[in-house]
Every structure is written in structure tokens, then in C-alpha cells.
Homo-oligomer: A and B are copies of this chain.
Amino acid sequence: MRPDPPSRGFPAAEFAARTQRAQALMAQAGLSGLLLTTEAEIRYFSGFHTLFWQSPTRPWFLFLPASGKPVAVIPEIGAPLMRQTWIEDIRTWPAPRPADDGLSLLHELLAPLAHAPIGVPKGHETQLRMPLADYERLLAGLPDLKIVDATPILRRLTMVKSSAEIEKIAHICTIGSNTFAELPEIAAEGMPFAELFRAFRRAALAQGADDIPYLVGGAGQGGYHDVISPPGERRLAPGDVIMLDTGATWDGYFCDFDRNFAIGRADDAARRAYDKLWQATEAGIQAARPGATCKEVFLAMHAVIGENGEQGGNVGRMGHGLGMRLTEWPSLAYFDETVIAQNMVLTLEPSLTYGDGRMMVHEENIVIRAAGAELLSVRAAPELPVINGRGP
């Protein structure tokens, strides 16, 4: 029943290729290095993969020099795992050590590099994952060091996926689709919404997901009014329209799509909203091909639902990149002129409001091939599914 998984991890050659592509872009930008602090950035170049990031206590650093392998500056507790990656230069300290949580090691590494700027991701969709006071202290101790924003480099690198990355995303999308296919057996009238979430998570794990870090949804008579709330104890009832949106993971890669369904019956307004979003998604699938811009794909979906004046304002975009993070560059949005390229993985996520403030959201996952979009999620049913709600 479960799909055969691809192999876990990546060969060292993949990390070497990523590093060399980064170093070529760094050379163009005149950078002497790149300092990274977040889980996805560090995993991308090293393969260092752990849930230990859940603890906010310890900072972790990976430094990409102008040439050669990255250097890890990490808490000692991470050394055994880092030694299993392709990284050779691993510098550790017994963290937590608030008085010097990696700072003197970073100082030693960066002090000789003050001749040229180093890059730190500072732009849209990035964060600095270390105490701000430590960052300020590091810079104060290196008055000649110049920092520039490395966001464009990371953005350009990570938007296009390797075939091994696409295999992992495709695998978790299949697991997600198989899980959604079980919904008619899982969802039952009278079931608390929180219990439906638990049952969905259990089903996704049984289908082979490693984890379900993201599961949100909405439920309400004739439609839902909110798409980011945690589930409460409200019980599912006939006439409810329900949406579940999941970001499940396999080997550190996400799927991110949703499904809508009704229990027992659905009114015409909900059916019409569903139909419009299904058609908008279809327009997105047609438009998402190499050479189109993100804005054009946004406009293609917007044209289908645009007559509904209330739409779009509160979500801000109709899709985004997908991979090691639930949401990645680019954005399918009016402001994003990124040219879509082969091997990008994207979500198409049109939404609209209808009736008295009810919302609906559709979402599919695609990979861009030479000939156009290829679905990674099994396409949602063309009409709002109505399940009998008899449950398991």
C-alpha cells in the first residue's frame, strides 16, 4: 500500500555541487564568505538533519568560504551527527555557554576575512537564528568586517531543485494524497475537529510520513471563516464544509496542499466557490511553465476568480515555492517577477471569500518540467466531495 521510498540523504556530490554553485555566485558578488544560522540553510549545504533545532537554546553556524568545503561552528552535542556528513572542519564549544556561545570561534574564523564583505541572509523570508545581542557583539569585535545581504544568492540557488530533491517531495506528496484519500473513512459526524486532526496525523504516519509539522484547517456550517486556527473540540456536523491543509515531511522535505469536503450536504454557494477555485487552479497549472513569471501565473488564477472583489487581499499570494521549508521563494504574487524555470517546485493556492465572510482555499503541488507543470499531488476532485460522515 505504501509507496516505495527513495533513498534517504544525498550523496556528497550533491552538497559539493550546491556549495560550488553558491561559491560561483559569491565570487560574482565579491564575497569572501557566507555565514548561515538557520536549519534549512545549514542542512542545504551540509546534510546536517536533526529535530534538535526545536530547542531555541543553542545557536548553530555554517560558514561557506570563497572556496573549499563549508566550516561548521556548532555545539559539541551536534559533533557526532555533523561528522556523518561531508563536512570536515567542525569546530565546537560546550553549549549552552551564554558568555561565549560560539562567538570566539566565529571571531577567529572571520577576523582574517575583513578584506572583502561576507554575506548574511537578511532579506525577505530569512531570519537570523542567533541572539541579536551576540550578533551585534560579534560585529562590534570585527569593526572592519562588512556584511552584505546574501538573500539573492540563497534564493537563486534553492528555488530550483535537484532531481533527488524532487523525488523526495514527490514521495511526500504521494503520501499526502494517499492520506487525503482516506478522509471519507476517517471523518465522522460528531467527531471533535481536534480528533479529526489526530486521526489525519495517524493516517499520514501509517502511509509513511516521517512527521506532520503543519496541519491547519477550517470547519463550519456552509463554510469556514479562518484557515490558520488550531482545531478545537467543536464536533463535525452535517452541512459542515471542512478544509485540511497539511505540510507533512519525508526526509526533511515538505508537501503542502489541502483538500475541501462537506459532510452530508453542501449548499450552492460552497459548490460554486469550490468550482471557481478548481478552475483557477487549472488556469495556474496551464500558466506555470518555464519562461512565465510568477506574476503571470498569479494573474492567470486571479482572472478566473477576479470578479469576486473580496478575494486575495488577506492571503497576499496564490502559491509559493516548496521544499525543505513549508513555504519558500518564489511567491505567486503581484510583486514577484521571478521567471519560472524547469525543476522549480511550487504550490498553486488560490483562495476566495464568499457569502458572509466564508473563505475557501485550494492547493496543489507541482514541479515545472520543460513542457509545463506536472502535478505532484493527486488532483482534487472537480466537484466538492460530500462524504456521508459515518466514519470509521
Query: A residues within 8 Å of B by Cβ?
Result: 8, 49-52, 54-58, 75-81, 84, 92, 94-99, 101, 120-133, 136, 149, 151, 194, 197-198, 201-202, 205-206, 208-216, 225-230, 232-233, 247, 252, 313-317, 320, 325-327, 331, 333, 335
Q: Which one of B132, B149, B229 lies within 8 Å of A128 (CB-CB)?
A: B132
Q: Which one of B149, B226, B314, B326 lies within 8 Å of A76 (CB-CB)?
A: B314
Q: List 19 A-B contacts (CB under 8 A).
A: A8-B233, A51-B216, A55-B325, A55-B326, A56-B325, A57-B327, A77-B228, A79-B314, A80-B225, A81-B228, A81-B229, A84-B229, A92-B314, A96-B317, A96-B335, A125-B131, A198-B209, A202-B205, A202-B206
Tell me if B125 and A128 are in contact (CB < 8 A): no
Tell me if A335 and B97 are in contact (CB < 8 A): yes
User: How near does chain B come to A320, taking the closest CB pair, in angstroms?
Assistant: 7
User: How near does chain B come to A88, taking the closest CB pair, in angstroms?
Assistant: 18
Chain B residues near A136 (CB-CB < 8 A): 122
User: How near does chain B come to A233, taking the closest CB pair, in angstroms?
Assistant: 7
Chain B residues near A125 (CB-CB < 8 A): 56-57, 96, 131
Chain B residues near A54 (CB-CB < 8 A): 213-214, 247, 326
Chain B residues near A94 (CB-CB < 8 A): 313-314, 316
Chain B residues near A198 (CB-CB < 8 A): 205-206, 208-210
